[in-house]
Structure 1
């Protein structure tokens, strides 16, 4: 069953649509919504505060629409900018394309109306002969604008003649372009590439010591953790919840990878459904794997196409984006037990291929948006490098990668383009993404349908953001996926937790990875020192993202890093157990007091000691006469009676300091231990013998005293 496109998917998009509330001339609004859904709005352009549109009606020539709002006065503009720049939290949320409701309320309190309260607040006209205002053509335009306001709340300010980002640039804020602020691009890759690299002998073997570093079984299962980092219902394809689609894809990819490992290439290159366009042209590798000496690979500068050769002294086997099967066949035929006898470059390909399969099986891969050319994007799949184990394997692969493994060449022979070699990181990502992209495309064929967002993610196609309704989608995708890539940046936040008398203090610092010998600097320096002005917007974006998981830090952001955040012990437990693990998963460093790294949990323990009374005959039947025992509550290697323990923790809750150690005190857990203590029966000689052999009793640790 088809899902109808919704309009006004955020509260601010809905506020825009509220201008239509209470207006309905002969059912024109539903018909306008239908026009918007069915593509009748053929063109929209915004110039200043005026929207010019074309809507295809019943006549051959589209009707001309004009919609505008009254521009803000200079006084109103100043108030708006002062409010936004006066509270970094507001600016950080806006940079993440969210309109804070408290910012809206502050504007309302100052008599600044962002949204039209009724249709009469809009200046609108249509060239159609319909007497009603709004007609269905104008209504269609209003609905289309609502979805763009959903994705980009800056648009509502632009419709009032205020370009906030441009005003901030003029005020000295370092802000990237609207669409490509931090999206990785081919231009960046080429700028960091070299026309010549040191030619290393790719035929040299790889030592056993290096090969032994590659244990792909250590890659943890990351699917659920990674998906939990993403927000639900991103505004990509508003006819469906794309996070749900992505989850289905991850599950399918994991299961398909297991079948692929069991059944081999036939699972990927076998018979396809008739209605699915073939992904591969059937070309075979028919050589001897041990004769192949070199693999030549050129990624073309459309960043979709590539060409390569498997070279031996006698033969050459070509492959490309349409004929990838020879490469897969070759790698599948390499005997793992003899891999160390192959040239270094072949070993790299073999390990990278198996690394890619392990990533897919464990759900340890993520999508990355890549800017190929102006308004042209693609999704490529790469390792989840925010996980330290995945990153370690990636770095080990990079160590054995010859610097001329992957080069970038021209996709158009008529265009002058010098072949260049990207940095080793990018070469390895290119190679891994080729494997991941093709395997994912093969495994997700039944998820494609006629859906441009699904095809972008799962079918190696480019996305063109030329049309009005598509222009905000790349930035929306980038912001949605940015949680996977905070740790990839050179400037990253650092959280420091300190123990205070009244709880735990949380401070925010900023680290420059390009200067590893320098200490992280306080957040307040970002706002007070001119030398940090260039990173201010990036830091605010990342902190806004962190605040989605750790809302407590919003007060620190709003204060420009000057206010102290102290969290009581009973509230800190939730942060320690539920929030900090997510922050660490993002790749953000969390500095903890030494004791917190080894948190102690109260446990029931049995203290045993020798009796002073001598016993004449040694037998397990008389162990109860030789030994005394007492049930205690242990905090690490220290034990306390129930009365001592209860007296010590009275009034405490959460993570607290006891005798220079951090202990987790939870009322339900303490009650459970005390109930266990009441149920304990005297130990028999047999019990004591068992205790002595196993050094535990019913899961409780045994402590032996002299």
Structure 2
């Protein structure tokens, strides 16, 4: 086959020759030549002609093919796809006068050529013929002379652009014309110059076996054109040495022995990943060549881009799952078995084994792993779970960012967030990793030459537990930066596998998108790994101490174009001035290295960037002696994504100050009030909107911007500043200007005003709206209600004013004060104030957990006795709305009686422990949110327990629509904040919700000064149905026995009954001495669990006192099971050393926050000042004993306020005796020794009055 030019043939024959095809069928040469000379020929007739001095047989046909490629024969395999491969075949055909070469095509196409190797400039191969054994082939070309080698090296050295390509392993096709000009013949000119030998009987060159090798060699040259030089005795390394490049470093795993492992530094690390999302990393694909040789299907570059886009799109809708405390304490190791296997195929080991969140494949596995003990890494054996690495990755990718917990949890969580940010921004690149087996797999690595990516990798390096990746066979670990990159690579590979959605059975696609090993099976697949690596090589970038610096100068005088210069900088010496490239070529030794070495580094980096900025090679080729002139559109493109592409490759730009602050147009939604009397309820109707375009400090109307866009593009000098008018940005704004103006409701308008954003555009408003928004932060001066039977502390008075102000404006409130600061009394004061002012025309409805019903009833009676309160709960409940000020009900009733409750519009709707509606999809949350009221108040000490989605759900109750839809909130706030630590998004969210959420902490200085040192709270709970039935049964049985006895026997029976009833109030299992203790079987246990869960979430310590060792053991069992954290138990049976160890851990170990204490064992002598909460689970009914226990926490050395929680079960002896103790002050003087024996002296009627169940 030959390539001919149709135009030249047309001149020769007087008409256009449309196709030339060589045939092996001989014809009479003289007759054919005669026909040609006479110009007589027919279409579709085979004729021989003279072409470039050679006789060729051609066919003239009607098929149009302007540039005739001899390999484009219908239905035939194409063996040469590049200029190098085609040139090789063309050279052979030019001297193949006997037309023997085509005989080898079928052999080559049939895969008969195997075992191709090149050693010492000789090609060896085997070709399977008709015989059983394959024929052996040896092939060599005439070596270059020393003079030719010197000429080649000089030609390369004199042309920096060639050196740049060679330095990164590319062979520029321009070398062909250069060698021709230099008189160097790269390809053979005759069969005599090909030293070829085949073991077959056919002595001719080429026999069909040799011919087959020549065709296959064309394929090999396509993949690696350096083969041509190797066959001429000039190695790739020598050529690259001429370009100033010594060689390539191979990636190797730097595992280190356990003896060299250093402990992890204890540092508090803060970071934000938001910056990664704002870069045009997707532009890096422009560095890749189209239609790479290794893929025979569609354009693989397009396929890879599609995969990246699919991943980024999937992550935009990623939802953050709930995390649980159980995961935070986990130990994790990735068990690497070595033997050249990818880490993706490794196993993950997680301990302890009861952790529920990990996908388990092998529970109960016993594995020895290294752990850090006293600054040294030691092997320890644990029982846990072995699971696949993908299970582990999936869990961390879906969790919110955790910076608390075990070192492994903190690191893997942070690494997951970093990997997600990299994947969303497409800031990662594929890499072919070759295995010892001859296979390869595709790994995905962070784009490690970008400054922002480098910063987060450096941060992760400080977090990485050194023993996380453990090589079991070699007892070694992979710590530091390479360990970090391997973990990020695991996450990126997992996301590519899960979200790329490239469905193909093609082996290469399975390797790129399903993480399968690529196993070459056919001969032509043998070099696929190298072809893939070469194609992707430019994405990896090239760095060094010295690098190119692109300098831009503004147009001057009549010059209308910007000028680009190429300088060189020393990255390790930021104070050293850049050196113009021309000076470096002139031999300047301003740097500490030889000029040639510096130029080699620069050339490599220019070559890597040349795929996107080919003009960089031009500037290198002219040795920096000429500036490159660029128009405004080209400069605009470069300042857009071009700057980002260069930054990814480690190449900086130096801009004049006028271009450093270049501004791009931003669409602005402008709001202006129609009058001065704008209220919160009328704001939506009293505001007019219009579009404007922001250009830095300038503002243009929509029409002005349209005119500007018509007159200019690119970099525009406008009113003493430079504007960047990118076509995409301009088109987007012009499209939006043609759309109708958006209509914002009241809550949307408030959010836009507070955040400065309306959807994806900026929002600006006038002075009237600014004052309205500022008033949200202004307290209404309202006096404390007259009938309030409590002295509000200053911060509580502020809370009342804030609640009243929001109610008065028609807006909801979330009171989120820290637990123990008196949220309930503030809300009761609000209800009472509204009643006293005549604003509570309908009852207030309070919805709370069942465990708090008694608390609310008691607190209302205590602080606001003038309020008429009714409780709607129980099987015989009634809704007593008439003549009632406050109705108290539970979440369960609100769910079950939704239709009844929704018939009324309530004066005020209050939800306590508002985290009960955090799951927006639950029937309970939807029922509560379906209720209508004149005002809404949510109360929660923990408005966000696990996810920001919980905050959205609460705001969806107090201000529906204010934070947008759940999906909008997730994309705008939840995911950026929770997964990427986007500080700007967090700031905007705080700004938006600030007027509607009030949170004071006990640690706030303004609050601490208002607080007493010890806060005592009665926590009222109710018996469960099971407890109530048991209580009644025991009471009736034992009272009969008491009535029939007297003296000491009676006293003993009374004391036994009192103990039994107290045990029933504690938990049915405590009384029965059998059964499985479940918190929901006891109202007191349920309340204790809820309270301790909040305390644990706030990282505070608590002591739980009980009179009974048995109850202490049950508490430990229930709390450890439900809270998934260790709970210690201090009791009298412990030895002294064990007691001391428990106290030391409670005081100083952050993992030991809860301690159950037997009242007798811990009542005196202990110093437990780490506790900020004391729970008296069951009361001794002797204030002196109770105070002694409380003082274990509240004593000298306590630097924080202590909250004392006294558990009292309503309607039982606990409530009645507690009421007696509070009412009869003389009982407070009972001696410690008096204990509870005074109760045994009461009469039967007195006992029944106290013991009877009154609920």
**Counterpart check, 1:110 vs 2:166:** no
CA contact 1:6–1:238 (8 Å) conserved in 2 = no
Aligned to 1:424: 480
How far residue 107 of structure 1 moved from its aligned partner, in angstroms, is: 1.9
How far residue 174 of structure 1 moved from its aligned partner, in angstroms, is: 4.1
Aligned to 2:252: 185
CA contact 1:19–1:119 (8 Å) conserved in 2 = no
Aligned to 1:92: 164
Give the alignment partner of residue 250 of structure 1, picking from 308, 331, 353: 308
Alignment of 1:241-640 (within 5 A): 241-250=299-308, 253=311, 289-290=326-327, 292-302=329-339, 304=341, 305=343, 306-312=346-352, 324-325=387-388, 328=391, 332=395, 339=402, 342-357=405-420, 359-360=422-423, 363-370=426-433, 378-385=441-448, 390-408=453-471, 410=473, 417=474, 419-441=475-497, 449=505, 451=507, 454-455=510-511, 458-461=514-517, 473-486=528-541, 491-499=546-554, 501=556, 502=559, 503-515=561-573, 518-523=576-581, 528=587, 529=589, 530-531=593-594, 533-534=596-597, 536-567=599-630, 572-577=635-640, 579-599=642-662
1:536–1:407 distance in 2 versus 1, CA, 3 Å: farther
CA distance in 1, matches of 2:84, 2:111: 23
1:296–1:137 distance in 2 versus 1, CA, 3 Å: same
Measured against aligned partners, the alpha-carbon deviations of 1:340-379 in whole angstroms (never above 9, x if no partner) come to 5532321222333354456556644322344666977543
CA distance in 2, matches of 1:172, 1:357: 39
CA distance in 2, matches of 1:433, 1:666: 34
Secondary structure of the corresponding residue to residue 548 of structure 1: coil
CA distance in 2, matches of 1:235, 1:334: 35
CA distance in 2, matches of 1:109, 1:34: 36
1:53–1:343 distance in 2 versus 1, CA, 3 Å: closer
Aligned to 2:80: 8
CA contact 1:193–1:422 (8 Å) conserved in 2 = no
How far residue 92 of structure 1 moved from its aligned partner, in angstroms, is: 1.8
Measured against aligned partners, the alpha-carbon deviations of 1:87-141 in whole angstroms (never above 9, x if no partner) come to 1112222344444344322321232222245656544443334576433322221
CA distance in 2, matches of 1:577, 1:258: 23
CA contact 1:494–1:590 (8 Å) conserved in 2 = yes
How far residue 29 of structure 1 moved from its aligned partner, in angstroms, is: 5.2
1:510–1:289 distance in 2 versus 1, CA, 3 Å: farther
CA distance in 1, matches of 2:415, 2:452: 15
CA contact 1:572–1:654 (8 Å) conserved in 2 = yes
CA distance in 1, matches of 2:714, 2:395: 54
1:540–1:341 distance in 2 versus 1, CA, 3 Å: closer
Measured against aligned partners, the alpha-carbon deviations of 1:613-663 in whole angstroms (never above 9, x if no partner) come to xxxxx9xxxxxxxxxxxxxx99977899xxxxxxxxxx9996476786445
How far residue 66 of structure 1 moved from its aligned partner, in angstroms, is: 3.4
How far residue 441 of structure 1 moved from its aligned partner, in angstroms, is: 4.5
CA contact 1:571–1:654 (8 Å) conserved in 2 = yes
CA distance in 2, matches of 1:522, 1:652: 33
**Cα RMSD (Å) of the superposition?**
5.8
1:335–1:590 distance in 2 versus 1, CA, 3 Å: closer
Aligned to 1:199: 263
CA distance in 1, matches of 2:393, 2:724: 55
Alignment of 1:106-185 (within 5 A): 106-116=178-188, 122-130=194-202, 133-163=205-235, 165-166=237-238, 169=241, 173-176=244-247, 181-185=248-252
Aligned to 1:233: 291
Aligned to 1:623: none
Measured against aligned partners, the alpha-carbon deviations of 1:443-479 in whole angstroms (never above 9, x if no partner) come to 67975646367437743537789x9967765554334
1:259–1:20 distance in 2 versus 1, CA, 3 Å: farther
Aligned residues: 619
CA contact 1:493–1:511 (8 Å) conserved in 2 = yes
User: Normalised by the size of structure 1, how large is the TM-score?
Assistant: 0.69
Aligned to 1:271: none
How far residue 543 of structure 1 moved from its aligned partner, in angstroms, is: 0.6
How far residue 427 of structure 1 moved from its aligned partner, in angstroms, is: 1.5
| Structure 1 range deviating more: 306-315 or 56-65 | 306-315
How far residue 553 of structure 1 moved from its aligned partner, in angstroms, is: 2.3
How far residue 14 of structure 1 moved from its aligned partner, in angstroms, is: 0.5
How far residue 17 of structure 1 moved from its aligned partner, in angstroms, is: 1.1
CA contact 2:543–2:649 (8 Å) conserved in 1 = no
CA contact 2:441–2:518 (8 Å) conserved in 1 = yes
Secondary structure of the corresponding residue to residue 113 of structure 1: coil
How far residue 144 of structure 1 moved from its aligned partner, in angstroms, is: 1.8
Secondary structure of the corresponding residue to residue 486 of structure 2: helix
CA distance in 1, matches of 2:519, 2:442: 9
CA distance in 2, matches of 1:215, 1:576: 23
CA distance in 2, matches of 1:338, 1:579: 33
1:292–1:235 distance in 2 versus 1, CA, 3 Å: same
Larger relative CO (CA 8 A, sep 6+): 1 or 2? 1
CA distance in 2, matches of 1:334, 1:311: 19
CA distance in 2, matches of 1:541, 1:293: 46
Measured against aligned partners, the alpha-carbon deviations of 1:8-51 in whole angstroms (never above 9, x if no partner) come to 11112110011343789999756633433443111223345543
Measured against aligned partners, the alpha-carbon deviations of 1:538-584 in whole angstroms (never above 9, x if no partner) come to 43222112222222222321244444434455754554456444334
Secondary structure of the corresponding residue to residue 115 of structure 1: coil
Give the alignment partner of residue 116 of structure 2, picking from 41, 44, 51: 44
Aligned to 1:73: 145
CA contact 2:88–2:187 (8 Å) conserved in 1 = yes
CA distance in 1, matches of 2:279, 2:664: 27
Secondary structure of the corresponding residue to residue 184 of structure 1: coil
Alignment of 1:666-705 (within 5 A): none
Aligned to 2:51: none
CA distance in 2, matches of 1:108, 1:124: 25
How far residue 521 of structure 1 moved from its aligned partner, in angstroms, is: 4.5
CA distance in 2, matches of 1:505, 1:344: 52
CA contact 2:333–2:468 (8 Å) conserved in 1 = yes
User: Normalised by the size of structure 2, how large is the TM-score?
Assistant: 0.41
Aligned to 1:273: none
CA distance in 1, matches of 2:567, 2:479: 30
In structure 2, the gaps of 5 or more residues are 1-74, 355-363, 370-384, 668-675, 677-692, 701-710, 731-752, 757-761, 766-1255
